[in-house]
A = this chain, B = another copy of it.
Amino acid sequence: MQQSVDILLTNATVLTMDSKLSQFDPGAVAIVGDSIVAVGPETDIKNRFAPAETIDCAGKVLMPGLVNAHTHAPMSLLRGLADDLRLDVWLMGYMLPVEREFVTPEFVRLGTLLACAEQIRSGITTFNDMYYHEADVAQAAADAGMRAVCGQTIMKFPAPDAPAFEDSLAMARDFVRSWKNHELITPAIAPHAAYSCTPEILRLVTDLALEFDVPLHIHIAETAFEVETMRRENGMPVVPYLKKQGILEARVIAAHCVHIDTGEMRTLQHAGAGVAHNPSSNLKLASGFAPVPRMLEAGLAVGIGTDGPASNNDLDMFEEVRLASFIAKAASGDPTAVPAATAVLMATRLGAQALHLDAITGSLEPGKRADLILVDTSTPHNSPRFRRDPNNAYAQLVYAAKSTDVTDSMVNGRWLMRDGKLLTVDSTALAQEARAVAARIDRFLIEREKSVLSKLIALGGSMEAESFEVQVKVRVDDPESVVAAIQPPAIEVTAYKHYRQYDEYFHFEPETEGRLRFREDDLISENGDVASVRGRLTLIGQQREGQLGSDISLSRSRFLAPAAHTLRFYREYFLPSAMVSIQKDRRRWHVRYQDTEFFVNLDTVLQPALGHFLEIKSPTWSRRDAERKAELLAQLLALLGASKNEVISRDYVEIAA
């Protein structure tokens, strides 16, 4: 008695990617509803099952759909916007400003659908995303019929979908609650990275991930710079730091892991974390060569991802799979490293495991969801085919086949592509809509290219993102009385420096361009000698961002860069409409007050002779934090005996003018 099934796929070269890497040629797969019920030799399967529909897969490989283990799908709309740039210039000069301006729920929906069209076309059935407005990513992916892990981004900086991390966290909670238990979508929490989250954020996101038992998706050790900074600031590499914050208690998906050591691999493996390796992105951004063979040896589930299409610039897993093998060989000097079968495994079953989805996808096995693709291997670039060794089949897929050889794709038992035709998305209409968005972004950037900021960015070098500060400045007549008041136990001094500062302000027309400050900082030692000199370039915005109480303001310094060139160079490069010099003596205390850190600057402006000023500042990351710090700042001003003094809301250069 034959069992009834919905679909029988027959006459295929079946690569199951199961634990034995079973192959059947000719092989067949039987499907009922959303699931696979049987996989095996064709004759056996045909004998056992009576199908409603039979599909002949002659000349094709039938295999699990590919798992894209890390991406930022909506960034398809930013593909090719800016390339061949240093990471900081690319990110802070182009991606972040454009995202701030353009990323809306509609942008996210369009970008995700466009990415789905490309991903389905190239054999991807599951992707793991991290972006903003993630509920809209999830809806678009579900509409396209794809399986996805969707991670709502959370970080300490203002984001396109949230002015502060508290807002992102609230969005994430709503999102996870709404989408939990969807048949295609796994909602997730995505703290951006260790360096872009505070310990408090890391604790809160872990709690959320554990509360709802959803994956936690995070960038780990993508660049050597990240690891160096972490070691300098916290005395340990990234994975131990994250472990200390409790993150590894969640079901972690660790993107990149380019610069982790053997101990960190063991820690991740012990925590059951998955890893997403992103070959193209790591090459294109010159991040380095991830230690894939060692991670696999350590027993880690290493999947393969495309990363976002703005740093790749496509969503082609065939390219990534080939590169995963190529790079492992070249970086280790061993041509036997990451052989073809391993690379395919990483893109299927191991990738599903890395996303904590291996119970339902990643291989062709009875009981798993029917997530599968057909690949045409009869094209010239796939010819001929050798059959001497089972590995020949994987080598053909990895070293010769292209994503465009994928002809059919099924997710959860539903066809998303048949004979090269997309069934759930209209790629022509999407491409047309995308062109309109690109034209708007082009116009925005062409306008911006005329500005000082863009010229500053064009210089390259190490930039820092815009920072927000809570600050107050008052005039003081007797600076030494302030010095005397900086006293424990109320105020604890953690550092003290004495500077002579020579500032050159570049003014531009129109004033909305902001001002550029070139500062030479001479550090003065106790005996009055100049101990060291450094130059810095800062682009200062024109507006105060807001008032927090009557005297205290929230300001932003948009860009900061070490000044690697001479003052003459910058003058000739930026061609300011006017220049003003300010010379001052600055005593700078780094203090701790009420468990919060502040900078106290006591300035004597010497040139022009403007007198003495007390300035108190603290960087801030969120609205709530800013309000708390403003309150403390007012207390501090009182402690230093300066709460009644004249408040100065202008810069010295404005007073001098």
Contacts and interface: CB of A to CB of B under 8 A. Distances in A.
A335 B86 contact: yes
A395 B80 contact: yes
Given A86-B336, A284-B329, A313 B438 contact: no
> In which size bucket is the chain A interface?
35 or more
B79 A400 contact: yes
Contacts of A431: 378-380, 383-384
A402 B404 contact: yes
Contacts of A387: 438-439, 442
Contacts of A505: none
A402 B122 CA distance: 12
Contact of A81 (B114, B386, B441): B386
A184 to B, nearest CB: 20
A389 to B, nearest CB: 8
A388 B446 contact: yes
Contacts of A400: 79-80, 309, 313-314
B79 A384 contact: yes
B430 A286 contact: no
A388 B380 CA distance: 38
Interface in A532-557: none
- A117, A334, A336: which has the most chain B beta carbons within 10 Å? A336
Interface in A163-219: none
Interface string A422-440: 0000010011001101110
A391 interface: yes
A381 B283 contact: no
B282 A330 contact: yes
A332 interface: yes
Given A330-B282, A402-B404, A434-B384, A85 B336 contact: yes
A87 interface: yes
A622 interface: no
Interface string A260-288: 00000000000000000000101111111
A289 B288 CA distance: 13
A392 interface: yes
Contacts of A313: 395-396, 399-400
Contacts of A50: none
Contacts of A312: 399
Given A84-B340, A336-B85, A386-B442, A381 B316 contact: yes
Interface string A81-118: 10111110010000000000000000000000010011
B286 A330 contact: yes
Nearest to A383: B431
A339 interface: yes
A395 B325 CA distance: 24
Interface string A121-145: 1100000000000000000000000
Nearest to A330: B283
A385 interface: yes
B380 A114 contact: yes
A488 to B, nearest CB: 45
A118 B381 contact: yes
Contact of A386 (B309, B316, B441): B441
Contacts of A336: 84-86, 460
Contact of A121 (B84, B90, B380, B399): B380
A393 to B, nearest CB: 9
A203 to B, nearest CB: 34
Nearest to A282: B330
A296 B278 CA distance: 28
B87 A335 contact: yes
Contacts of A90: 335
Contact of A289 (B86, B330, B388, B446): B330
Interface in A292-343: 309, 312-316, 319, 322-323, 325-327, 329-330, 332-337, 339-340
Contacts of A379: 427, 431
A71 to B, nearest CB: 13
A628 to B, nearest CB: 39
A403 interface: yes
9 smallest CB-CB distances across A and B, nearest first, come from: A384-B438, A84-B339, A283-B326, A313-B399, A384-B434, A383-B431, A83-B395, A286-B335, A283-B330
20 contacts: A80-B384, A80-B395, A83-B391, A84-B336, A84-B391, A84-B395, A86-B336, A117-B380, A118-B381, A282-B330, A285-B335, A286-B333, A288-B330, A316-B402, A319-B322, A383-B435, A384-B437, A385-B438, A386-B442, A387-B438
Interface of A: 76-77, 79-81, 83-87, 90, 114, 117-118, 121-122, 280, 282-289, 309, 312-316, 319, 322-323, 325-327, 329-330, 332-337, 339-340, 378-381, 383-388, 391-392, 395-396, 399-400, 402-404, 427, 430-431, 434-435, 437-439, 441-442, 445-446, 449, 460
